[in-house]
Structure 1
Amino acid sequence: MKFGIAVFPPKVVQDEANSHRKRFDPHYSLIQPHMTVREAEEWDERKLAEAVRHLEEVTANTQPFAVRINRFSSFYPVANVIYMALEDPSPFVSMYRTVCSGVLEEKNIKYSYNPHLTVGQDLGDDEMHDVLSSLRPIPLDFNFTVDRLHLLYQTENGAWTVHQTFLFRG
């Protein structure tokens, strides 16, 4: 089964993201707006048990932290992805490094980690530029506290659902 790890922002952030995702993200119906912490990967029962133990240990020592989403950005020219960006990604990146260590170390990573909330993907070049130019002027100012991780699994129809939630207890 395929598993991944994500943070879900508050409903107000999800509502803003979904107002764009429903038009520009083909994964809109498969997963709610989220910030990926660890990419999806096939795990057997042993790997799942190891991951759960690791996440319990990590979250026992992780303190909640504040983040602010303050703009739209893109990964162009590397990928035609538009996202809501963090003003200061460093606390999120620090948490990512702790989570993705030991048994959850990611192998063969294509890109350096950049926490974000995708609002558009799989766009053609012209569409990507048009959408981004229309979104960039929209002011964003969402402050929230990251205080939990969600271990997700992919269902047979391709949708993602929560397997387990881990509260930060540090």
Structure 2
Amino acid sequence: MSVESRFTLGVVIPVPQPHRDTLRAWRREFGGQATEPIAPHITLVSGSYLNTWDKAAAQVRRVARQGEPFQVRLGAALTFRPASDVVYLPLESGAESCWELHRALLGDALRHESCFAYHPHLTIAQNVPAYRLDAAQAALHAVDLSFTVESIQLFDTASGQWNLSEELRLG
């Protein structure tokens, strides 16, 4: 499938069960309905591709094949405020592996577009009133969740919404 370069894509780390349901409940409670359609994830790249969808997808597949499974440990909620109205769970371990994947993905046909520097994390709440951000940070002060990252997911926005295109095993 060849798509114009103005379409965007996303490459994310999905959170496996049972943590996916736990995180989804926290996102629903503190982040509201806007978080409902989006499964908990750690973003590796969110941006546009420079040539064709086929070339971009081939690059993501190549990076996945060259990657290795690794452990992620999520810690107590932090915030990006005042720079951005976001409460997130930081990666206590696994951040360097995310950085390696991020850099490898940007090596050829992809570009990352963000107002902020890449920072591996899992968003709990954003763009909600301050009292909800405060509540999320207070309630999630003792989070300690670990899981093995075994795959990455490739999403496209060809129809104007995020659509899962492929799940790719690492290694």
Place the TM-score, normalised by the shorter chain, in its bin: 0.7 to 0.9
In structure 1, what is the equivalent of residue 136 of structure 2?
Answer: 131
Q: Which of 23, 35, 38 is the aligned partner of 2:42?
A: 35
In structure 2, what is the equivalent of residue 144 of structure 1?
Answer: 147
User: Which residue identity is paired with 1:150?
Assistant: Q
User: Which residue identity is paired with 1:55?
Assistant: V
User: Which residue identity is paired with 1:19?
Assistant: A
Aligned length: 163
In structure 1, what is the equivalent of residue 76 of structure 2?
Answer: 71
**In 1, Cα distance between equivalents of 2:16 and 2:39:** 11
In structure 1, what is the equivalent of residue 106 of structure 2?
Answer: 100
- TM-score (normalizing by structure 1): 0.83
In structure 1, what is the equivalent of residue 18 of structure 2?
Answer: 12
**In 2, Cα distance between equivalents of 1:130 and 1:142:** 19
User: Which residue identity is paired with 1:144?
Assistant: F
Q: Contact 2:75–2:143 (CA<8 Å) still a contact in 1?
A: yes
Q: Contact 1:31–1:161 (CA<8 Å) still a contact in 2?
A: no
5+ residue gaps in structure 2? 1-6
Identity of aligned residues (%): 22
Shift of 1:128: 2.2
In structure 1, what is the equivalent of residue 3 of structure 2?
Answer: none
For residues 141 and 132 of structure 1, do their structure 2 counterparts lie closer, same or farther at Cα, with a shift above 3 Å needed? closer
Shift of 1:156: 4.8
Q: Which of 81, 90, 97 is the aligned partner of 1:91?
A: 97
Q: Contact 2:77–2:136 (CA<8 Å) still a contact in 1?
A: no
- TM-score (normalizing by structure 2): 0.83
Instruction: Provide Cα deviations, 1:137-164, integer angstroms capped at 9, x if missing partner.
Output: xx22222111211111247574x33101
Q: Contact 2:13–2:42 (CA<8 Å) still a contact in 1?
A: yes
For residues 143 and 127 of structure 1, do their structure 2 counterparts lie closer, same or farther at Cα, with a shift above 3 Å needed? closer
In structure 2, what is the equivalent of residue 58 of structure 1?
Answer: 63
**In 1, Cα distance between equivalents of 2:61 and 2:26:** 34
5+ residue gaps in structure 1? none
**In 1, Cα distance between equivalents of 2:158 and 2:61:** 23
**In 2, Cα distance between equivalents of 1:156 and 1:164:** 16
